[in-house]
Structure 1
Amino acid sequence: MTFIYIITTLATAALAKGSIECNFSAGVGQYFGAVGQLLLFHLPNKINTEIKLTKDDKYLILRKDKNQKLDLNEDYAVLQNQSDLLASGTFNLGNAKKKHSGYYNMEEFDSKGVLLKKSKVHLEIQAPVSEPAMSQICLSPEQREVSCSSEGEGAEFILSLDGQLLVQTINHTLSPSNWTARIKSPAKQDGFSVSNITVSLHGELTGSLMCNVWNNVSQHETIIHLDDCKVFVSFSPVVTVAVIAGVVILLLLVALCLGIKKFNKKPRTTNPKRDNCESEVVYTDVRVMRNMKKTTRNSRHNVTQP
């Protein structure tokens, strides 16, 4: 017999707050950001220089010539309110989207077209992880399975029981015990990437089980309590079936008794006028019979007397 109880959580991850700011002055950089965050690029802003920004060596994102004339790719940049790019070198790309992920090359030229500087930045935009949903299944008094799942991209998990590490996915670490772990690759469900980890544990283990999930842009945790599986797996299937059958029979008997009682109490329709007529007819018959007997006696009496 299998007993299951699940703690569910909200599956939709909220948009991350704050902004992603990529600085091209260092020459090389690695940045992570969450979907929905404000995306800003800090670019050189020297007079009489030209800036060219490309993505993945094939998309022209921005070009600013020495006369401060801008040429923007409307698929990646916000076309309005770009005065900061001319004033301070801040390039506003709006709310970050998955399409913003990639490698960006920035080239700076002087007024004669000579290359002054070249920078390369890698940007990865991820969907934040959701709060983990945890469940435990008692398969028998000696065995249970616990699982933890979360939406988001690049999710990593840590499962621990009362502070003791059970499994960690980032380097596939397993605590030296008899339990086993199964890690499912991220799968798409209703457009979301869902990751899951399942661990087999002994049914007698109890305590606080914590699932910690994170990626480069977010982190959440959920805690559930493990009870001894003997509490839940305490009846055999035969006993359970017998109990169910007894309840069904009892309900059928109650329904039958109620039906019989209702049938016996079925009202009889009467006709008041008809009843009154029948009473009168009976009464008249009795009265006539009595008169006839009295008349007969009188007749006989009159005949025998001279």
Structure 2
Amino acid sequence: MPTTSARLLALLSLLQARRDWPGALLAARLEVSPRTVRRDVDRLRELGYPIRATKGPDGGYQLDAGADLPPLLFDDEQAVAVAVALQIAASSGVGVEEAAARALSTIRQVMPARLRHRIDALQVTAVERGGNRPNPRVDPAVLVTLGAAVHAREELSFDYTVSSRSESVAASPPRRAQPHHLVTWAGRWYLVAWDLDREDWRTFRADRISPRTPTGPRFTPRQLPGTDVAAFVAQRFEGSFGPERQPCHGEMIIHLPAAFVSRYAQDGIVEELGPDRCRLVLGSWSWPSLAATVGRFDADIEVLGPPELADAFATLARRYARAAASGCN
């Protein structure tokens, strides 16, 4: 039987791997009795891990979110992925360079030597698009406020800085809007909202927004013009989704943060769906080319449409499988 500390780490790893665990299944996986599992769960609770227990024949355990962030347990691939993402975060345009550097240093200190060597050998330098015109920086707190208002469907009041040739001046009075979507376009963050004073749809650059608190009343979402937010934003910015320029464009969900995907999405439109999921609409000259472009992301992909894109993924999967098989001979 493994030591108590090793068993606790194994239990914590299992609880982080899936949402719900039946007690009997946990005991079988750890090769201990259900009573030992209950004792180990109590030990983890004493260490600050919020573990909820459910009673009954199918009762089990679930690791919940708590008020404080307890120590986390990563496997090798997760640790390397987090370290690489933190290096890329230095140019994400959301002003987290210092925090990302501190987080990377913390993770590196506790990594085993084999993983530290992999991280030290992989130095990522993210280059801004546009030559001498770097993307404007966005305060992370602003993105959090905007995202929360979109999710809660609460009206926003904010100061908006408009650009002139000589200087930037704050528009007055404050803007009032119903926020609908938080998206990225060509490396910049935008808020798509219904402007209450102008009674029309507007796209606001997030780096020019200074939210006022508190937020306003809740509202019933309006129907966005066009088929979806991606088409709306593409039309506003005259993007390259026209059939004469990019005959194929598809829609998918990428299981990665929107800030990361937007760095490599070219002229695609990225909509944040959560901390580790985003919606991407991207165009290309052919369906296989589009599928291959999206396949560069080391993450799960959900194809929302059209069917031609799903067929292209299936075609590439068969080609890659044949290539892998030929390489083993």
Higher relative contact order (CA 8 A, sep 6+): 1
Hey, which of these two has a bigger chunk of strand by percent?
1
Q: TM-score, normalised by structure 2?
A: 0.19
TM-score (norm 1): 0.20
Which structure: larger Rg? Answer: 1
